[in-house]
Amino acid sequence: MTKGKASSAGRPQTRIQREKRELILEAALDVFSTHGFRGATIDQIAEAAGMSKPNLLYYFGRKEDIHKALIERLLDTWLDPLRAINPDGEPLPEIRSYIRRKLEMARDYPRESRLFANEILQGAPRIMELLETELRQLVDEKVIILKRWMAEGRLVRVDPRHLLFAIWATTQHYADFDVQVRAVLGSDFAGEGRFDDAARLLDQLFLSGLAPKNVKQLAHSQ
């Protein structure tokens, strides 16, 4: 019994299994994030991972299993910044650091961002359910906090969900549309400075866009 395959099922996982599976996921992230699910081939991933296709398939029975493993891990860390919004904090600093964290993720994990973007673009066939449950639930939760802040007059009244969309869009843009950003900024501007510039702009945009007009916020530091 237990077909022996080094897959998810109960078996304890050997050292090699852990290492090789990690290696494969790393390689697959590269490939899936730039070609999408259908556009990526097992051969490509295997080559990127430095092993033969059958060997790769020994660890992940099907192409879809690799993708699923990646997406599941991704979504978890991807939502961490949103989870970290503190209901008891000050609205503007909380939003400010949320934007910061999202921007850092775009800078430090662009492949994950693109993997996600690819999946969504293609209609999210493999994660629709997660979006409708986990994501939506978390958003609903945070929306309550945002609404409270607005009711308390500590945040200007805006549609909280669309506010989140705007934050997601602007920050992830620097990962997903990286080549366009680079093309527009020009190769001379190619350093990582664009993330600092982006942070500055987004601060101005969101913080002065969200500060209540009557109550002058402390805001601007640095």
Partner DNA sequence: GCGTTTTTTGACCAGTTGGAAAAATGTTAA
Partner DNA sequence: TTAACATTTTTCCAACTGGTCAAAAAACGC
Q: Which residues bind DNA (CB under 7 A)?
A: 4, 6, 11, 14-17, 20, 40-43, 51-55, 57-59, 61-64
Query: Quick check: 34 binds its own copies (CB under 8 A)?
Result: yes
**2, 84 in Cβ contact below 8 A?**
no
Query: What mask, x for binding its own copies by CB under 8 A, covers residues 131 to 160?
Result: xx--xx--x----------------x-xx-
- Residue 176 corresponds to which tokens in the numbers above? 């997903």
Virtual torsion, Cα 197, 201, 203, 205, nearest 10 deg: -170
Give me the least distance between CB of 128 and DNA, in Å please: 20
Q: Closest by alpha carbon to 60, among 23, 34, 111, 31?
A: 23
- Residue 44 corresponds to which tokens in the numbers above? 């490509």
Alpha helices in the chain (DSSP H): 15-39, 42-48, 53-59, 63-83, 91-108, 110-121, 128-130, 136-151, 160-176, 178-185, 193-202, 208-210
Query: Quick check: 32 binds its own copies (CB under 8 A)?
Result: no
Residue with tokens 């991933």: 45
Indicate which single residue of 1, 9, 179, 218 sits in contact with its own copies (rule: CB under 8 A).
Answer: 179
The residue among 94 and 176 lying less far from its own copies, judged by its C-beta, is 176
Interacting residues toward its own copies by CB under 8 A: 34-39, 114, 117-118, 120-124, 128, 131-132, 135-136, 139, 156, 158-159, 161-166, 168-170, 172-174, 176-177, 179-181, 183-186, 194, 197-198, 200-202, 204-206, 208-210
